[in-house]
A and B are shown apart, each in its own frame.
Chain A
Amino acid sequence: MVKTERIEAEADEPTPSSAWLIGAAAWFVPGLGHGLLKKWPRALLMGGAVWLCFFIGLNMGGHMFDLNAAEGSSQLLQVPPMIANLGTGALYIISWLLGYGFADDPAQAARATYEYGNTFLLIAGLLNYLTMLDAFDIAAGRKS
């Protein structure tokens, strides 16, 4: 089947509601989507990479973003990194509820690994978006 025919065939098939649930689960707990699909090696590798990235970022003193803009900075500028951070799902939400990793502490910002930590936290979220899309595609039958 050529690509255009495959795209047309896929457009006719509705996405099963379970795919949306698995996508949401994959976003909320990194690795859970693939786990529910019984794709254990992928769940371990992809979810594990996201969890590791997140905790390494926190351990390096990284800072996560929310809409509470620091003094002198625009709230709008906080939105793109916040979207990236939000990709870690429950990890972000729990950290936000506990107020861990959100403080604007100059001592923390002075650490040599501060920027690395920020990058790891952003990348953890972005990688989990990819993981979520992969789990969604598998659940929707678009990929094996």
Chain B
Amino acid sequence: MRHFLVMTLFAALASIVFGAMGKETTQERWLYGVKVFAEFMVIGLVLSWVLYFIP
């Protein structure tokens, strides 16, 4: 659980910076930040399951 929380925190902090500096309008920035956050989380979870099956 702790690992997941740390990963979420990491994704949130990185996506805040990416979201704040990307795109033009506030709405686009929000959407971009959420998208980056979702990508971090999904890729992190997929990679962790892939690594789980590798001895």
Q: Which residues of A contact B (CB under 8 A)?
A: 41-42, 45-46, 48-50, 52-53, 56, 60, 112-113, 116, 119-120, 123, 127, 130-131, 134, 144
Is B51's beta carbon under 8 Å from chain A?
Answer: no
Within B1-55, which residues are at the interface with A (CB < 8 Å)? 2, 6, 9-10, 13-14, 16-18, 20-21, 24
Pair B20/A53 contact, Cβ less than 8 Å: no
Q: Chain B: interface secondary structure? A: helix
Contact check, B13 vs A131: say whether CB atoms are below 8 A apart. no
Q: Are A46 and B21 in contact (CB under 8 A)?
A: yes
A interface majority secondary structure? helix
Partner of B13 from the list A52, A112, A130 (CB cut-off 8 Å) is A52
CB contact between B10 and one of A45, A120, A131, A134 (< 8 Å): that residue = A120
Which listed residue, B2, B10, B17, B24, touches A130 by the CB 8 Å rule? B17
Contacts of B9 in A (CB 8 A): 56
Q: What is the minimal beta-carbon distance from B51 to any residue of chain A, in angstroms?
A: 14
Q: Which residues of A contact B20 (CB under 8 A)?
A: 41-42, 45-46, 134
